[in-house]
Amino acid sequence: MNPYLLLAIAIVAEVTATSALKASENFAKLLPSVVVVIGYVVAFSALGRLLKDGFPIAVAYAIWCAAGIAGVALIGAVFLKEPLNLTMIGGLALVIGGVVLLELGRAHA
């Protein structure tokens, strides 16, 4: 399977699970709790498969984390009305920029 497809699956599953975590109310609500568990199982399974297939762990984890952080921050701001200011956006840009540099470094290694 395409490694970037596996990575995308892992990211979407992790962002979905993390977003549902708040709605689960500490696992008191069944449906969001099931989404959390299934989301994390899918995320770690896809990430594990990616690593098993030889994708570099530093790059995979960095992309997975950065995309997850950005995705959850955006979902929090748009759907949960959580604050997102210019300083926070700058921080997200730095995280994403760091991941881009890791990927560029891998390409030139």
Give residue 99's pLDDT band: very low, low, confident or very high (50, 70, 90): confident
Give the predicted TM-score (pTM) of the model: 0.88
* pLDDT mean over 98-107: 83
Residue 106 pLDDT > 90, yes or no?
Answer: no
Q: How far apart are CA 100 and CA 94, in angstroms?
A: 10
* pLDDT mean over 97-108: 83
**Residue 101: CA atoms inside 13 Å, Cβ hemisphere, count?**
6
**pLDDT tens digit string along 87-98?**
999 999 999 898
**pLDDT tens digit string along 22-63?**
999 999 999 999 999 999 999 999 999 999 999 989 889 989
